[in-house]
Structure formats: structure tokens, C-alpha cells
Amino acid sequence: MDNSILFTPGKIGPLTLRNRTIRAAAYEGMCPGNAPSEQLFNYHTAVAAGGIGMTNIAYAAVTQSGLSFERQLWMRKEIIPGLRKLTDAIHKEGAAASIQLGHCGNMSHKRICGCTPVGASSGFNLYSPTLVRGLNPSELPAMARAYGEAVNLAREAGMDAVEIHAGHGYLISQFLSPYTNHRSDEYGGSLANRMRFMKMCMAEVMKAAGSDMAVTVKMNMRDGFKGGMEIDECLEVARTLQDECGVHALVLSGGFVSRAPMYVMRGTMPIRTLTHYMPWGYLPIGVRMVGKYMIPSVPFKEAYFLEDALKFRKALHMPLIYVGGLIARDKIEEVLNDGFQFVAMARALVNDPGFVNRMKTDAHARVDCGHSNYCVARIYTRDMVCHKTVEGLPACLANEIKRLEYK
């Protein structure tokens, strides 16, 4: 590891990180009232103190209509002081701060987002479940401007970077994917048309970011199911973000939450855990009956996106951030040696916020995460925590975790 770049500084646009590690945006469920809380503060400062190069606060909605969870951030003036307190503390620990900005599109419910959920096309989203209203062309410029306004708010809050969520089947991804985009106007049909909304958003984002903020985009390399986007089209999206939009780095992911959710994270969704925390009623009964068919498992392996990500590495010259299944320093070194400038981790840092510092002194450091996805099931109704920190975990959940852990 003598020539390892892991603990050397790396650049993303105007920003220099102290090392090559990034906390991947992972929705924390720690924002009651759609505002930052002490729990969010404590989690991110622990990750920053744990040695990370940059921590990424997850999944902030650019408008109220973009909220998909009750305990999710919504970018607006009122939350700036709370975010500023958080970025000050992150900076004090020597890390940089980023915020993921997005809009959930059809992945919401009127009760949460305050309106009939909107998307690229009208229809019914079985996963929410909800009716969806396709956005009119006249509404799109304002939606794109909301991304730019959110970048300005992020700057005011002291963020060094923003990450635009263009993957996983959220709004920009709903425009990109032929699965959710059935439009017959200039925003649907050909890939060039399906990219038009993304390009509008990115123009606003880059204008607002100016020369002092770093801009990353999280995008799909594949949607992860038949009828979704495949790698050739996604490569075209990446080239457009690099050459036309001038984005500083890409986070390469995949999956579609309303159709192939486990493609994003791999493994199995722990249905017993998911329903355990739901309020009593018909919904948990229904989810327990059909959940495993609606949320099919996808086998986990370490660095599961590497094969696809290498195709992007070959086709692009911009900095790339690898994410997906990193829990060990050995694999992280392999990924960096393959030409990726940064590595991002979500579950490793749910399990152990101090993992990065541990890697400094242990060339074979590993995180003891079994990928039972307890933390994933829990965020639908509660906060993001590892089952290892939960006192008095019910036996039925402990058994499910044991059964699903990847050995």
C-alpha cells in the first residue's frame, strides 16, 4: 500500500478533499418537520470526526412536491441556520460538506408532498401507491430553477458541494427512463429528448454553483430491469454531463426504487423489519404478503458495480466516484487502482462512522456489516441506524437479520 492514493488529497472541481473517501448520500430519516435535527448533526459530525474526506447529507427535496418521506429535508430559508451549524461542525473536523438535492417525482404521497405527486408522465405508481400527474412543459422551467435555488441555499448553509440526484428512479431519472417517460412532446421519445429536462436542471445548477462550489451527479449505469435504461444509453447521459453540462464528478450507481430497489443496494429487503415499524393497519399486512414479490432480491457481492463502472471509467475523462458494496480497505485500494478518483460508502459508515480513521492504521481494515439491510428497511418509517446499536431488538427482527446476513 506504499503507493496508495487513499490518504492523499483529491480534487472535485474547485474543491480539494483531504482524502479519497466520501460518505454516500443515504437518507437518514433524521429530519422531523423537514428540518435538520440534533441526531442528524451528531451522525454527520461523527462521520467527519471518523476521517471522511467529504460527508454528503442525503436527499434534500428542492420543492415541497419533491418530498417522499415525512422526516426528509426540504430546502428552504428556515433550515439554513440549522444546516450552517452542521457544516461548521463538519469543517471543524477537517471534512468537506455536500448535500444531495433531488425531487422524488412519482415516489410520494399527497399527505407528504402536499399535492398529487408529479412525474414525467401521468399514471399510477403501485409502489407508493398513488396517482401521478405528468408535469406540463410550462412547469418544467420553474422546476429546473428550483434545483438552482436549492444550490444557492446550499451555499448559504456553508456546503462545499452539491450532489444532484439523477438516478434511482427519482424525477430526473423518471424523465431519462423509457419506463416512466411516455411523453410525446420534446421531453419524451428519443434519448436526446429524455435528457432535455436533466440538461435544463443542470444549466440552473451550474449557473448557481458558479466557480466556488463543486457539483457531482449521481446517476444510473443501468436501471436494473428489462424495459429500463441500459448501459449504452447511460454512457450517453454520462458523456452529456461531462461534455455539455460541465459537471465536476459523477457518482456511478444503478437501480430504480419503484421497480428494482434492491439493484441499488443488493441483498434482500427485510420485510419483517419493514412492516414491524409501520403503523398498525392494512398496509403492513399487505406488504408482508406481497413484499418479497414487489421487492425482489439481488445477490450482494463486494464492489458489485465495479464491472459496469469500469466501462464508464474507460469512456470518460472526468473524476469518477465509485459506490456500491465497499466494506474493506483491500477492495477500496483495488477500486482506486482501477482509476476511480474517489470511493463512496453508505452502509459501511452506518455500521462504523470511524471506518476511515481505522483504515489509516490497518491496511486490511474491514467493516462488520452483513448487509441484512436492516438500516434500509428502517428508514421508511424511522431513522437510519445499524441494528447493532438498537437496544432490545425484538427476537423476530434479530432472527430475520441473522437469516439475511451475507456470509
What amino acid positions are annotated as catalytic residues? 170
Contact 179, 233 (CB under 8 A): no
Taking contact as CB under 6 A, which single stretch among the options 90-98, 149-157, 277-285, 345-353 is the one that binds ligand FMN? 345-353
Taking contact as CB under 6 A, which single stretch among the options 239-247, 346-354, 359-367, 396-404 is the one that binds ligand FMN? 346-354
Q: What is the DSSP letter of 6?
A: T
148 or 325: CB nearest ligand FMN: 325
Q: Which residue has the cell 421487492?
A: 295
Site string for ligand FMN, 9-28 (x = CB under 6 A): ---------------xxxx-
Decide: is 252 part of the binding site for ligand FMN (CB under 6 A): no
Minimal distance in Å, beta carbon 65 to ligand FMN?
A: 17
Decide: is 324 part of the binding site for ligand FMN (CB under 6 A): yes
List the one residue from 264, 274, 287, 295 that touches ligand FMN (CB under 6 A).
Answer: 264
Strands ordered across the beta sheet of 130-134: 118-119, 130-134, 123-125
By CB under 6 A, the residues from 48 to 67 that bind ligand FMN are 58-59
Residue 182 pairs in a beta bridge with: none
Q: What is the grid cell recorded at 386?
A: 445499524
Report how far apart, in Å, the C-alpha atoms of 264 and of each of 219, 224, 260, 361 are: 11, 8, 8, 31
Minimal distance in Å, beta carbon 173 to ligand FMN?
A: 10
Minimal distance in Å, beta carbon 266 to ligand FMN?
A: 7
Taking contact as CB under 6 A, which single stretch among the options 173-181, 281-289, 343-351, 394-402 is the one that binds ligand FMN? 343-351
Q: Residue 105: left (phi > 0), alpha (psi -120 to 50), or beta?
A: left
54 or 346: CB nearest ligand FMN: 346
Q: What is the grid cell recorded at 3?
A: 503507493
Residue 316, number of CB atoms within 10 A of its CB: 17
Decide: is 320 part of the binding site for ligand FMN (CB under 6 A): no
Amino acid in the structure at residue 131: L
Residue 91: Cβ-neighbour burial (10 angstroms; 0-12, 13-18, 19+): middle
Percentages helix, strand, coil for the chain (3-state, rounded to 5) are 40, 15, 45
End-to-end CA distance of the chain: 27
Residue 125 pairs in a beta bridge with: 130
Decide: is 323 part of the binding site for ligand FMN (CB under 6 A): yes
228 or 324: CB nearest ligand FMN: 324
By CB under 6 A, the residues from 152 to 191 that bind ligand FMN are 165, 168
Alpha helix ranges (H) inside 35-100: 38-49, 80-92
Decide: is 329 part of the binding site for ligand FMN (CB under 6 A): no
Q: CB-hemisphere CA count at 13 Å for 20?
A: 24
List the one residue from 98, 125, 181, 253 that touches ligand FMN (CB under 6 A).
Answer: 253
Minimal distance in Å, beta carbon 163 to ligand FMN?
A: 8
Taking contact as CB under 6 A, which single stretch among the options 7-15, 151-159, 344-352, 357-365 is the one that binds ligand FMN? 344-352
135 or 306: CB nearest ligand FMN: 306
Residues comprising the chain, all counted: 407
Handedness of CA 208, 247, 237, 52 (dihedral sign): negative
Size of the site for ligand FMN (CB under 6 A): 25
Q: Which residue ranges make up the site for ligand FMN (CB under 6 A)?
A: 24-27, 58-59, 100, 165, 168, 218, 253, 264-265, 323-326, 345-348, 375-376, 379, 384
